[in-house]
A and B are shown apart, each in its own frame.
Chain A
């Protein structure tokens, strides 16, 4: 008998939530120690400086992209991926070795670290690497950077998170925002958006059903840039790509479509999607192209003076069927040709992990509460994405929910629950 729709709904959302959960947990394991608080003004100042730096770097990124310095960006990105994995990952390795007293000599250790770093650099932007490896390295990079972030003092961390969420909102949605400019530049040139993304699953269009050879969806995988301190992109730019529409107008430049249009079956918004899948009109393409830039965290006194702009660069991962096929798009059977896959920016991973890691430094209850808040914020953002079909910031909702839940749990829920359970009273 036919399988019910219950089997297939929600697949893509889970694909993104799983790595977020993993990276959040691993952060907790890495940082068992606590830290002291700083003065209020000091932390606000830190947060402002941080956001200003992030904004400046993003503007530089936009400029570079505008003047077509893509080669430079590409190389810089590779360098920064190498650097992040090598130095920060190396420092974490060393502390793990110390903590668990693993007997290993320095030569072996450096060879292993080198291998790890090279493999990571390659998997992030080169083609032909299995997707699972790329996903793992994305998660690892997110964890590494977030682990460094949790060394920040507590108040600073919270202020930075809130400030970045606000910045993200402004940068993506406001008319002058750098990320919005970037998205528009990329889309007006029909170019790939430089981005470093986590891709939920390999998207291979099965658009060949029934002889339909439309231009299929190109998958772009962001390569690039981790590195350095902050991954700025934070904003998940969930960018709706109008790939499909342009194709339907018969423009045969399918091979120029470098967007990553990953259509998601719109499960939650069935009304908004009008005619249904048969017409091939209704899809909510989701592209999350996070733009991560790094900048040094010198201003918060952490370390490193690496000013690496991670300009992501997208290298086509998979050339789908129909490449170079200049046939105009026929209305396809969308049920089959929907590419499932959501992309989430690496910066978002990092800041989610920072939030959870900071919550972990207080108690496990706050960890669970913040984890649930982030996941639900992510779900809300995805729903909004399918409604609005344009680039959306992924940070604000999750971070705001996370911060609110953290403080509510810490102040309200904990005395309540602990008071009850120690008397063995539950409901």
Chain B
């Protein structure tokens, strides 16, 4: 609607990640590099997906099941990529550990590993917000606004910003859960991440119904807060464990 509104929408989508970036990530340059590379990975996955789906676009706007298929395939692809990302990270961790040994510094701490996972997740989240929300925000800086018929009470920009915020949270923290799950071999954690992602994707399908966003968006936030809570519990447990370990071994 105006520059103020445009900036407001951008901050709704990216505010928390910006503060996370400034307070945590920008302190360590390696984490910035991690954010950039995971953003790139997400972008590449998006390009591949759009390449795969391009012949079938544009989809008809009334039928919902092609969209469902789209979401399911995309989520599966991205989860597979997340696993590959973890594999690459494992190898990098070995390299970093041997480097640390070589210069006689301590190996990566638990907090370091969690931070790297957080940075990876943040990269994914920021990429989502940028490509799904920010890149469409340019008209919002102008004099008018835009409404979608399916969600006619709220400007399109605001709805997409709110949804983007939920997804940023989900992406950021599910990466931490996923990394810890793969590292510990914890099946629950490993499975819960794709489930959350798929559930979130499916919930956006609810927006397809008329005025569905009234139901869809709050449910999405329920999922996002579930992710947050689970991640918080898991991290807390791990930190307690490692503190007990290190004090026990001394």
Beta-carbon contact of A416 and B29 below 8 Å? no
Contact of B204 among A276, A368, A419, A427 (CB under 8 A): A427
Contact of B136 among A7, A405, A418 (CB under 8 A): A418
Beta-carbon contact of B115 and A6 below 8 Å? yes
Interface centre among B30, B78, B133, B138 (most CB of A within 10 A): B30
Chain A 404-423 near chain B by CB (<8 Å), digits 1 or 0: 01001100110111111111
Judged by a CB distance under 8 angstroms, whether A335 is at the interface is yes
Q: Which of B156-164, B177-185, B224-232 contacts A (4 or more CB under 8 A)?
A: B156-164
B202 to chain A, nearest CB (A): 9
Q: How far is the CA of A289 from the CA of B204 in the complex (A)?
A: 51
Enumerate A273-321 residues with CB–CB distance to B below 8 Å. Answer: 276-277
- Give the dominant DSSP class at B's interface: helix
Q: Which of A8-16, A236-244, A250-258, A384-392 contacts B (4 or more CB under 8 A)?
A: A8-16
Beta-carbon contact of A363 and B135 below 8 Å? yes
Judged by a CB distance under 8 angstroms, whether B80 is at the interface is no
Judged by a CB distance under 8 angstroms, whether A102 is at the interface is no
Beta-carbon contact of A424 and B163 below 8 Å? yes
Q: Which residue of A lies closest to B73 (CB)?
A: A427
Judged by a CB distance under 8 angstroms, whether B51 is at the interface is yes
Beta-carbon contact of B50 and A412 below 8 Å? yes
Beta-carbon contact of A424 and B204 below 8 Å? yes
Judged by a CB distance under 8 angstroms, whether A270 is at the interface is yes
Given contacts A2-B105, A14-B32, contact A425 B37 (CB under 8 A): no
Q: How far is the CA of A375 from the CA of B37 in the complex (A)?
A: 9
Contact of A5 among B70, B96, B208 (CB under 8 A): B96
Beta-carbon contact of A412 and B54 below 8 Å? yes
Beta-carbon contact of B99 and A5 below 8 Å? yes
Given contacts A6-B31, A270-B99, A420-B70, contact A426 B201 (CB under 8 A): yes
Beta-carbon contact of A424 and B51 below 8 Å? no
Enumerate B105-158 residues with CB–CB distance to A below 8 Å. Answer: 105-109, 112, 115-116, 128, 130-138, 148, 150-151, 156
B250 to chain A, nearest CB (A): 13
A25 to chain B, nearest CB (A): 13
A425 to chain B, nearest CB (A): 5
Q: Which residue of B lies closest to A277 (CB)?
A: B103
- Give the dominant DSSP class at A's interface: helix
Given contacts A4-B105, A4-B109, A419-B59, contact A425 B30 (CB under 8 A): no
Q: How far is the CA of A376 from the CA of B33 in the complex (A)?
A: 9
**For residue B156, which residues in chain A have a CB less than 8 angstroms away from its CB?**
422
Beta-carbon contact of A4 and B136 below 8 Å? no
B133 to chain A, nearest CB (A): 8
Judged by a CB distance under 8 angstroms, whether A365 is at the interface is yes
Q: Which of B38-46, B82-90, B234-242 contacts A (4 or more CB under 8 A)?
A: B38-46
Contact of B39 among A11, A372, A418 (CB under 8 A): A372
**For residue A379, which residues in chain B have a CB less than 8 angstroms away from its CB?**
33, 36-37
Q: How far is the CA of A9 from the CA of B31 in the complex (A)?
A: 9
Judged by a CB distance under 8 angstroms, whether A95 is at the interface is no
Q: How far is the CA of A6 from the CA of B108 in the complex (A)?
A: 7
Judged by a CB distance under 8 angstroms, whether A37 is at the interface is no
Given contacts A276-B102, A423-B207, contact A6 B112 (CB under 8 A): yes
Judged by a CB distance under 8 angstroms, whether A364 is at the interface is yes
Judged by a CB distance under 8 angstroms, whether A356 is at the interface is no
Judged by a CB distance under 8 angstroms, whether A344 is at the interface is no
Beta-carbon contact of B53 and A416 below 8 Å? yes
Q: How far is the CA of A7 from the CA of B108 in the complex (A)?
A: 11
Beta-carbon contact of A423 and B108 below 8 Å? no
Chain B 59-96 near chain A by CB (<8 Å), digits 1 or 0: 10100000100110011001000000000000000011
Judged by a CB distance under 8 angstroms, whether B219 is at the interface is no
Judged by a CB distance under 8 angstroms, whether A24 is at the interface is no
Contacts A405-B43, A424-B160, A426-B167 supplied; 8 other A-B pairs, CB < 8 Å? A9-B28, A379-B36, A415-B54, A416-B49, A421-B136, A423-B61, A424-B159, A426-B164
Chain B interfacial positions (CB closer than 8 Å to A): 27-33, 36-37, 39-40, 43, 46-47, 49-51, 53-54, 57-59, 61, 67, 70-71, 74-75, 78, 95-96, 98-100, 102-103, 105-109, 112, 115-116, 128, 130-138, 148, 150-151, 156, 159-160, 163-164, 167, 197, 200-201, 204-205, 207-208, 213, 216
14 residue pairs of the A-B complex, CB under 8 angstroms, read A1-B106, A4-B105, A5-B99, A5-B108, A277-B102, A364-B134, A364-B138, A368-B135, A369-B43, A372-B40, A373-B40, A416-B50, A427-B71, A427-B197
